[in-house]
Structure 1
Amino acid sequence: MTATARSAEEQGAERFAAMPEDWTRALAVVAHPDDLEYGAASAVAEWTARGKEVVYVLATRGEAGIDTMEPAEAARVREEEQRASAAVVGVTEVEFLDHRDGVLEEGPALRRDIAAAIRRHRPELVITVNHHDTWGDAPGSPWNTPDHRALGRSVLDAVGDAGNRWIFSDQLEQDGVLPWSGVRWVAVAASPAVTHAVTVGDEATRKGLASLLQHRSYIEALTDEDPETYARSIVHGGLDQYARRNGGQRAVAFELHPC
């Protein structure tokens, strides 16, 4: 993008604040395999390259996501693809909570499992995906899915639950975990209300693209387009979109909630 183009596109657009960097451990909690790879994985690659630790927790195995594949087989395939995808960006620990794909319910059951994960991993930063009704802020923007809405809102609530010893107290007795009130921020990826961004370099961009391409079975069921062409348009398109408010540098942007 040229300086002239950047100037024209950035007129009237407030520049993103920088994402906090004074943390060592993050927990990414999403609904399905591939949720992080549609943008946030490039930021994860940037962070792990700097020595930060990131753990993935997925509420489901994505078993309802491939129309041509029975759920049990889809769960197996998508779990394998997610573990391979995480490894590309430097994430070695991936957990699945085994809630049912497509019918996640916002409420105590989901909050309980997320709070337990927060108590186990004790992150300073929690990452999730868009919990808003739509994917954009303009009238007629595409409607978000029920799983994303339920999961994201439950994550925001579970952060508070994790620090309160009188909520889900049996976890402290049965599982030996301790309350954790050390979460300092929740970062929501793919939000229509992004506020902060992390700049990503060429290597993190490459890894983000490779990470999405690990979900080949899902992509091939989703579109007739060449998987690499499709993935490149998604990853590069998102990073370039956020570059307009990041001084022309590719970035992943988040809606950041201080805790």
Structure 2
Amino acid sequence: MVIAAHPDDAEFSFGATVGRLAAEGTRITYVVCTDGSQGGEDPDEPAERLTATRYEEQRAAARHLGVAEVVFLGFRDGSLTADTALRKALAREIRRHTPELVLAHQPLRSLVFPIGASHPDHLAAGEAALAAVYPDARNPRAHPELLSEGLRPHVVDEVWLPGHEHTDLFVDVGEYALRKTEAILCHRSQFAASADPSADIAWVTDRMRANGAAAGCAYAEAFKRVVTGSHAAPGPQTAPAVHAEAAGEGSRS
């Protein structure tokens, strides 16, 4: 499962890994928290029309990467908070889809990466995702109404967050680097004022190439791996940087 704040965040943050996992047989669900209505340059465009456009672009990008399903929660763009309502909505989707792996935003502001990585909605979505994974989705006493919906508690094995300053996991994405940039360009509304959208996102490939150099491959995406399963050990989780294989064939993400 990929939990993203806005339409297009999943592709920018995780697109090549998603493409690889899907190609290897993993069933992937996107959960997009907001309606995307702040993601435009025309102040006169009706929010409902922009949301409809962005939802369709997100579906197209997801299809390009092999994603099985896209869920839109519809919270207002620009106003996301890690409150009980968002945590409950995410816990519902986790229980419904029972993922082994969740990919989500980092909940901490980065003072190293460009400020866009720390959009307030990203931070809220990251914090709510982690809270939904632990304790909400696994605790039968959290949001008891979910039980009445037939949604039993579920334990997620691990969460991968964008590495930023805390990388301890690299995923070799090889040929899927190109598929990632193609999926990003499916979000045409976000490049409406651009003369050359491909040039605008050259930094995406540059970053994957730099991660690849650190991991010993051509292209990689970088993560902080958080073990959240039943056997997660107490105390700090530390691990050397590794050149990782993607999750096993047929798993649910």
Query: Does the pair score TM above 0.5?
Result: yes
What residue is the counterpart of 2:147 in the other structure? 172
User: Please, which of 193, 202, 218 is the counterpart of residue 166 of structure 2?
Assistant: 193
Paired residues, what number? 224
- TM-score, length basis structure 2: 0.84
* Deviation per residue, 1:6-47 (Å, 9 max, x gap): xxxxxxxxxxxxxxxxxxxxx101100010111411111011
Letter in structure 2 aligned against 1:169: P
Aligned match of 2:251 = none
1:147 — aligned with what?
121
- The percentage of aligned residue pairs carrying the same residue is 33
Q: How far apart are the structure 1 equivalents of 2:163 and 2:74?
A: 24
Say if 1:198 and 1:251, in contact at 8 Å, map to a contact too: yes
Give 3-state SS (helix, strand or coil) of 2:79's partner. coil
How far did residue 135 of structure 1 move? 5.8
Deviations, residues 146-178 of structure 1 (Å, cap 9, x unaligned) = 1111110110111021000000011111x2111
Is contact 1:38-1:235 (8 Å) kept?
Answer: yes
* CA RMSD across the alignment: 1.5
For residue 226 of structure 2, what is the amino acid of its counterpart? Answer: H
CA contact (8 A) 2:27 2:68 kept: no
The equivalent of 1:9 in structure 2 is none
CA distance in 1, matches of 2:95, 2:13: 26
Q: Which amino acid aligns with 1:227?
A: P
Q: 2:39 is matched with which residue: 47, 51, 65?
A: 65
Unaligned runs of 5+ in 2: 229-253
Report SS of the residue matched to 2:115.
coil
The aligned amino acid for 1:78 is R
**DSSP-derived class of the 1:252 partner:** strand
d(CA) in 1 for partners of 2:82 and 2:109? 14
Structure 2 residue 218 is the aligned partner of structure 1 residue 249: yes
1:119/1:90 CA distance change after superposition, 3 Å: same
In 1: Cα distance, 2:50 partner to 2:190 partner: 9
> What SS class does the counterpart of residue 78 from structure 2 fall into?
coil
The answer as to whether partners of 1:132 and 1:191 remain within 8 angstroms in 2 is no
- SS of the equivalent of 1:256 reads strand
Determine whether 1:228 maps to 2:227: no
Structure 1 residues 1-259: aligned runs within 5 Å: 27-68=1-42, 69-134=45-110, 136=112, 142=115, 144-160=118-134, 161-173=136-148, 175-181=149-155, 183-189=156-162, 191-202=164-175, 204-221=176-193, 224-231=194-201, 233-259=202-228
Q: Please, which runs of 5 or more residues in structure 1 have no aligned partner?
A: 1-26
Q: Per the alignment, do residues 93 and 210 of structure 1 end up closer, same or farther by CA in structure 2, a change over 3 Å counting?
A: same
